[in-house]
Amino acid sequence: MNPELEIRKMPIQARSRLSSMLDVNNSWKILMGAIPKSAENGETKKYSSEDVRLVENEAKRQIKPAFEILIDEWGTSGKKRPTIQELIQLLVKLELYQAADYLSEDLLDDGPLERPANGPSAIVPANIANINFAQTNTYDLTDQTVLEATNERLRYFQQKEISRQTLFEDFDTSLPHLSYTDLEYLTNNFDQNPVSNGRKLGAGAFGTVFLGMLQENHHLDSKGIQIYQKMKLPIQSKVAVKRLHNQKADVDIDINRLFRTEVETMSQFAHENLLALLAYSADGPDCCLVYPFIPNGSLEARLACEGGTSPLQWNQRLDVAHGVAKALIYLHTGRTQPLVHRDVKSANILLDHDMKAKLGDFGLIRIGATGRGSKSIAFTSNVLGTSAYMAPEAFRGDISVKLDTFSFGVIILELLTGLPPYDEERDGNDLISHVDSALDDINFIHLLDPKIVPLPENMASTLHSIALSCIQEKKRRPFMTQVSIFRTSAN
C-alpha cells in the first residue's frame, strides 16, 4: 500500500485494528492533542481539549471507537489531507509504537520501525514471559454506596416523570395536544407488528413510528371523530405517530429538549417541502409526534428499491433534489435568524403520493450563523447528526447553515449513484470517500446508478460539480441560496 494514501481511505480492517490499539489508555487523545494545525505550522495544534471532549461524547453516542470519529474529522479537513506516512511519523513522535509498527509492517510491508535502546519504548527481550496483566484497580463498593446510588437514580426518573406530565401546558405552540390514550386508540395500542399485519412503520435512533388510523368499524365512533377534528383532518386520513424512546442513562441526549424543539419550531414553519407536524402528545410515558402519513416512504428506502419498489427515474430524482434545496433555503432564510436542520439525510426525506420531497425530523434544529457579514459562530457541546452526512466542522460543534449544504452534497451523490451513504463492506466506507477513490480509475459517468437509463453526461457532470462544491471545506462551501438545481424532463 502507498504510504502517501490519505488516512481517510484506509481499509476498514486497518481502521478497526488501529482503533483497538489506540483505545487502550485513551491513547487516541494523546494523538489528537498532538496533531499539528498544518505541516507548515507544526507548533500550533489543530485541536483543543474541548474538541477532544466533543469527539469522546460523539463516540459514546454512536457506540463507535473514538479513533474512528477522529479519522472522519481529521482525514477530511484541511487543504492537504493527512497521509498514512504522516500518521506513522506522529505515532513514532508520541512513542505509540504498537500502532506505528502495525501500519509500517502489516499495512505498508516496510518492516518494523527503529526504537530507542532504552526506556519504556525499547523492544522487550524475548525471554521475558508469563507477565500477569490482570487488572489490579478494583473498587470497594459497599452495599450502602450501591443503595444510595440506586435511590438517587430512582428520584431522578420520578422527577422526570412529574415534569413530563405538565410539559405540554407551557409549550409555545398552536398545535393541538392529543392524549397518550388518543394515540393508543389510533395505533391499536402501539402495535409492534410490521405494518403488513400490524402498525409499526419503522424505527430510528430516537423513536419508533406507527401507522395511525381508524378501523373500519370505528368510522362513526365519537372518540375517533373527536381526535380527527382536533387535527382538522378528514376521518379517512392516515397519520404517522412517532413515539420517542426514553432517554438512556448512558447517552448524553435530552430527548425532552429535542421533542420540545420540534414542536415549537415546526408549528411556526410551513413549506410545501417540509413535513408538516399535525399534533403532539406529552402526557404519557413517552412523548409522541403526529405527522401526515407519507405513502411512498423515505428517499433512502426508494433508492435501495426496498420492498421491490421500482427505482426512481432521473426526473424524479432531480425534482427531489430541487425540493430539498427549496426546503433548506426556506429554513435558512425564512426568518431573521437562520435555522440549521443538522440532520439532512435520505432517511429524513419522505416522498408523497406525487413523489414530492418532504424534509422531516427537526428535533436537532438549531439557530445558527449564516457566516455572511458576521464573525459570530454558534457552537454546541452536543455533536449530533449522522456521521456520513456531517461536515468536518460539525465534530467541533460549529453550527452554521453550511452544515446543511454539506449534507445536501451527500444527498446529490446518493441520487446520482443510488448507493447508500455508508457501507462497511465498501472500499471507502462513506460515500464521499468511495466516489473519490473510484475516480482514480474511472470516469464519474461510470458511477451513475445502473438501475435506470443513463443520465446525459453533461447533466451528470453538472450535478457532480454541484455535489463537490457542497462538500468542500467550510470557507469555500456555498450557501444553499447559491446552489442551483436544474429540473429536467429526462426519463
Query: Residue 291: its pLDDT value, please?
Result: 93
State mean pLDDT over 354-379.
62
Query: Residue 41: its pLDDT value, please?
Result: 64
pLDDT tens column, 118-170: 655 556 554 444 434 333 333 344 444 444 444 544 444 445 444 454 456 66
Of all residues in the chain, the percent with pLDDT exceeding 90 is: 32
pLDDT tens column, 402-439: 999 999 999 999 999 999 988 878 776 789 988 988 88
Which pLDDT band holds residue 172 (cuts at 50, 70, 90)? confident
**What is the pTM for the complete model shown?**
0.65
Which pLDDT band holds residue 209 (cuts at 50, 70, 90)? very high
CA 473 to chain CA mean position, Å = 18
Quote the CA–CA distance of 302 and 323 in Å, as a whole number: 16
Residues of the chain with CATH 1.10.510.10: 299-482
The more confident residue out of 38 and 364 is 38
* String of DSSP letters for 93-116: HTT-HHHHHIIIIIIS---PPP--
Quote the CA–CA distance of 491 and 318 in Å, as a whole number: 10
Residues of the chain with CATH 3.30.200.20: 164-292
Query: Residue 217: its pLDDT value, please?
Result: 53
DSSP designation for 308: G
Q: How far is CA 23 from CA 19, 49, 67, 90, 306, in A?
A: 6, 17, 7, 16, 37
Query: Residue 162: its pLDDT value, please?
Result: 46
Query: Residue 49: its pLDDT value, please?
Result: 76
pLDDT at 117 over 90: no
Q: Quick count: other Cβ atoms within 10 Å of Cβ 349? A: 26
Query: Residue 292: its pLDDT value, please?
Result: 93
Do residues 451 and 305 lie in contact, with contact meaning Cβ atoms separated by under 8 Å?
Answer: yes
The residue written with cell numbers 477522529 in the block is 70
pLDDT tens column, 262-290: 788 777 888 999 999 999 998 888 889 99
Q: Return all residues near 13 (Cβ < 8 A) that are at least 6 apart.
A: none
State mean pLDDT over 302-330.
94
- The pLDDT mean for the chain works out to 79
CA nearest neighbour of 416 among 467, 352, 344: 467
Longest Cα separation, the chain: 87
Query: Residue 9: its pLDDT value, please?
Result: 85
Q: How far is CA 126 from CA 119, 130, 261, in A?
A: 16, 11, 61
* String of DSSP letters for 10-53: S-HHHHHHHHHHHTGGGHHHHHHHH-BS-SS--SSBS--HHHHH
Quote the CA–CA distance of 128 and 395 in Å, as a whole number: 43
CA nearest neighbour of 12 among 426, 464, 303: 426
Query: Residue 300: its pLDDT value, please?
Result: 94
Computed on alpha carbons and rounded to an integer, the radius of gyration of the chain in Å comes to 26
C-alpha cell recorded at residue 285: 410515558
CATH architecture of 164-292: 2-Layer Sandwich (3.30)
Quote the CA–CA distance of 22 and 65 in Å, as a whole number: 9
Quote the CA–CA distance of 94 and 29 in Å, as a whole number: 11
Residues of the chain with CATH 1.10.533.10: 7-107
Quote the CA–CA distance of 444 and 446 in Å, as a whole number: 5
Amino acid letter, 450: P
**Which CATH code fits 7-107?**
1.10.533.10
CATH architecture of 299-482: Orthogonal Bundle (1.10)
pLDDT at 365 over 50: yes
Q: Return all residues near 383 (Cβ < 8 A) that are at least 6 apart.
A: 54, 55, 57, 58, 61, 394, 395, 397
Give catalytic residues, as residue numbers: 343
The more confident residue out of 411 and 174 is 411
Quick one: CA torsion of 146, 151, 155, 161, rounded to 10 degrees? Answer: 90
pLDDT at 223 over 50: yes
Query: Residue 419: its pLDDT value, please?
Result: 93
CA 178 to chain CA mean position, Å = 30
Query: Residue 372: its pLDDT value, please?
Result: 43
Query: Residue 398: its pLDDT value, please?
Result: 83
Which pLDDT band holds residue 186 (cuts at 50, 70, 90)? very high
Least confident of 92-106, 130-144, 194-208, 318-332: 130-144
Do residues 327 and 343 lie in contact, with contact meaning Cβ atoms separated by under 8 Å?
Answer: no
Q: How far is CA 31 from CA 16, 98, 99, 372, in A?
A: 16, 13, 11, 34
